[in-house]
Amino acid sequence: MPDPSRRRRLYEVYRDRVSVICQLNGFATEAGRLVVVGEVPNLGPDDPDDAIAVVGGPDDWKQQGKAFFVAWPITIWAVTKADRTAPYLALEDTLADITRAFELEDMTLGGLVYAPVRRLSPRLTLPREDGSLVVGVGVTYANDFKEGWGAPE
């Protein structure tokens, strides 16, 4: 069986870094209890108040022969229930926890990217769809990596 693609491994690193967010580990929130990859969750009554979503954006790439130099933005969203008291203050606590958990010494994510991960600005507010039960804010990081023709590595 082939190794997982670099995109999948990047998702896993992001997920793993923010999954440690809980008060027992010295963070302000318990948002790491629910981490969703690929989409922003709609939190129901049985879900925790806070969650984190790791969502990749459209990638951009340049081809040189059989090599692709890929720039892939990934946004880490702090998500909370919209009907709670002061939801945007709670989001700021979660966003601060995300920054503490994700922005570690290893800015190459274990060698998955060839340039250090960097923040893209500005920080984002999640567009709220009609009927959505959640609000969110996010921070986007740039991930630059190389893959080969037919070899997502």
What is the set of domains in the chain, with CATH numbers?
Answer: 6-148 (3.30.70.1700)
Mean pLDDT of the 125-142 span: 91
Please, which pLDDT band fits residue 115 given cuts at 50, 70 and 90? very high
Strands, E assignment, the chain: 35-37, 50-56, 60-64, 67-81, 118-125, 134-148
Query: Packing angle between helix 6-18 and helix 87-102, nearest 10 degrees?
Result: 120
> In the block, which residue shows the tokens 């009927």?
131
Reported pTM: 0.94
Q: State the pLDDT at residue 129.
A: 81
Q: State the pLDDT at residue 144.
A: 97
Residue 89 backbone class (left: φ over 0; alpha: ψ -120 to 50; beta: rest): alpha
